[in-house]
Amino acid sequence: MNANPDIKSENIAAAEINLPTRDLAKDLPFFLKGLGFRLDKIFPADDPAVAVISGHGLCVRLERDAESAGATLRLLCERPEEVAGGRTELESPGGTRVEIIDADPPLVQPETQHSFLVRRLKDSDSWVIGRAGMRYRDLIPDRLGGSIIASHIRIPDGGPVPDMVHYHTVGFQLIFCYRGWVDVVYEDQGPPIRLTAGDCVIQPPEIRHRVLVASDNVEVIEIGVPAEHVTTIDHEMTLPTGRHDPERQFQGTRFVFDKVAEAVWKPWRVPGFEARDTGIGAATQGVAGVQVARPISGHTPPRTSHDTDILFTFVKEGSLTLAVDGEEPYEIVAGDAFVLPPYFKVAYRECSPDCELLEVTLPSDFETDVATD
């Protein structure tokens, strides 16, 4: 640390005071409702640990379990390497800790830590309260090393949702309506849309949106890549914008609203199944693919494996047995989820007639190896 750095201030974009908090959930209403601050950023959505608030000429970062025992000044800089000769931490003569932070850090996609995982609904931990009062259930507890988060989200009480216009700094994000319905409005995508059970959308990087109204006990499956990403409130934009530009790209990704009522079913990558392609692979230029698959009566699916980086499956309806080499079979039912690592051999057996699987893969294009024995 240096008490007398040669600081170049011209590219300092903003400054924050970092305050440790023992209980972010209780501190937020204290600052927002009690003291008149407004929420600017919060993450992660499923179990918020950091919130940035502003008001009265001050920007404050509330951080749960922060290492610092006291307040820290954070300088958010456009070119942090030029501010204090490359130093990232300073100390004032009076002992105030100063951090030099990138104002717009690049999105980092961690390397996938592959594992075979089965997450059963009956074995899950309690639902936790996340952003905007929504209940979250974690479907990939180890996050595959931080490369992906999959959440089962529930809003128990229907009616208006206490949400604000916001966006997410992500590489890929899927919202799949599992139960009930929800009204959402998106930047430059026309009037609000209603997602009903079986419908899905992708939320391209930094597209502004807002959840408006939900039915009682609506449930959605949300996939985010990477697992750790920031939610930012946009206090200036009003939605809808009055424009409808379905071809607009947000960092190379088009908005997709896929309706189950318009589904076209074709043979799937696993023999003995058929699937509907949501069109998300094309809209993301191959970043991710999303399909819903169901068994074809009278067929016995063979053992298969794949070579894609991430393959996540959520069981929408019905049941099946996962036959895995060298292990006892896994009995899987609606609400369960599983992750199959690359080259992992498995067979989908004893599928109930109503079985439906939501499969999300990154990237979208890959090879499936079908066993011949």
Domain boundaries, the chain: 12-102, 113-373
Cα separation, 224 vs 104, in Å, equals 19
Q: Taking phi first (over 0 means left), then psi (-120 to 50 degrees means alpha), and beta for anything else, what does residue 269 get?
A: alpha
Residue 230 and residue 41 in contact, taking contact as beta carbons nearer than 8 Å? yes
Going by the DSSP 8-state scheme, the letter that residue 133 receives in this structure is G
Question: If DSSP states are collapsed to H, E and C, what string results for 355-370?
Answer: CEEEEEEECCCCCEEE
Residue 187 and residue 209 in contact, taking contact as beta carbons nearer than 8 Å? yes
pLDDT value, residue 200: 98
Contacts of 262 (CB under 8 A, 6+ apart): none
pLDDT value, residue 130: 73
Residues of the chain with pLDDT under 70: 1-9, 66-69, 124-126, 131-132, 373
Alpha helix stretches (DSSP H) within the chain: 24-29, 280-283
Contacts of 171 (CB under 8 A, 6+ apart): 107, 109, 205, 225, 226, 287
pLDDT value, residue 131: 67
Residue pointed to by tokens 């105030």: 96
Residue 178 and residue 222 in contact, taking contact as beta carbons nearer than 8 Å? no
pTM: 0.88
**Domain 12-102 CATH assignment equals 3.10.180.10:** yes
CATH architecture of 113-373: Sandwich (2.60)
Cα separation, 366 vs 291, in Å, equals 14
Question: What CA–CA distances, in Å, run from 76 to 4, 61, 83, 98, 134?
Answer: 19, 12, 10, 11, 30
pLDDT in tens, 99-116: 898 988 888 899 999 999
- Please count the CA atoms within 13 angstroms of the CA of 165 that sit on its side-chain side: 14
Taken in order 135, 149, 120, 289, the sign of the CA dihedral is: positive
